[in-house]
Amino acid sequence: MNTSGVADREGVALSERLLAVDRVSLAYRTRDRVVRATHDVSFDVYGADRFVLLGPSGCGKSTLLKAIAGFIEPVSGTITIDGERVRGPGADRVVVFQEFDQLAPWKKVVENVAFPLRVARGCSRAEAKERALHYLDKVGLAGFAEAYPHTLSGGMKQRVAIARALSMQPRVLLMDEPFAALDALTRRKMQEELLQLWEDSRFTLLFVTHSIEEALVVGNRILLLSPHPGRVRAELNSHQFSLRDFGGGNGQQDFQRSVARIHRLLFDTDLPAQRERHA
What's the first-to-final CA gap in the chain, in angstroms?
Answer: 21
Instruction: Give the SS3 label for residue 264.
Output: helix
- The answer to whether the predicted template modeling score (pTM) of the entire model surpasses 0.85 is yes
Q: What is the pLDDT of residue 266?
A: 87
d(CA 45, CA 172): 9
Q: 121, 166 in Cβ contact below 8 A?
A: no
pLDDT means per 10 residues, the chain with 279 residues, are 46 71 92 90 96 92 95 96 94 88 93 95 95 95 96 93 94 94 90 92 95 94 92 89 66 85 83 51
Among the CATH numbers 3.40.190.10, 3.40.50.150, 3.40.50.300, 3.10.20.30, which is that of 1-92+171-279? 3.40.50.300
Q: 163, 113 in Cβ contact below 8 A?
A: yes
d(CA 48, CA 67): 21
Q: What is the pLDDT of residue 99?
A: 77
Q: Please state whether beta strands 50-54 and 232-237 pair in parallel, antiparallel, or not at all (unpaired).
A: unpaired
d(CA 239, CA 225): 19
CA-nearest of 63, 16, 2, 60 to 171 is: 16
Helix axes 154-167, 109-120, angle to 10 degrees: 30
| Every domain range in the chain assigned CATH 3.40.50.300 | 1-92+171-279
CA-nearest of 115, 106, 161 to 135 is: 161
Query: Side by side, which strands form the sheet with 17-29?
Result: 34-46, 17-29, 76-81, 84-85
Q: What is the pLDDT of residue 278?
A: 39
Instruction: Give the SS3 label for residue 176.
Output: strand
Q: What is the pLDDT of residue 249?
A: 58
For the chain, where are the alpha helices, taking DSSP H only?
A: 61-69, 109-120, 125-138, 154-167, 184-201, 212-218, 243-246, 252-267
Q: 88, 108 in Cβ contact below 8 A?
A: no
Distances in whole angstroms, Cα of residue 104 to Cα of each of 22, 97, 114, 128, 137: 36, 14, 12, 17, 20
Round the CA-based radius of gyration of the chain to a whole number and report it: 19
Q: What is the pLDDT of residue 12?
A: 43
d(CA 55, CA 222): 10
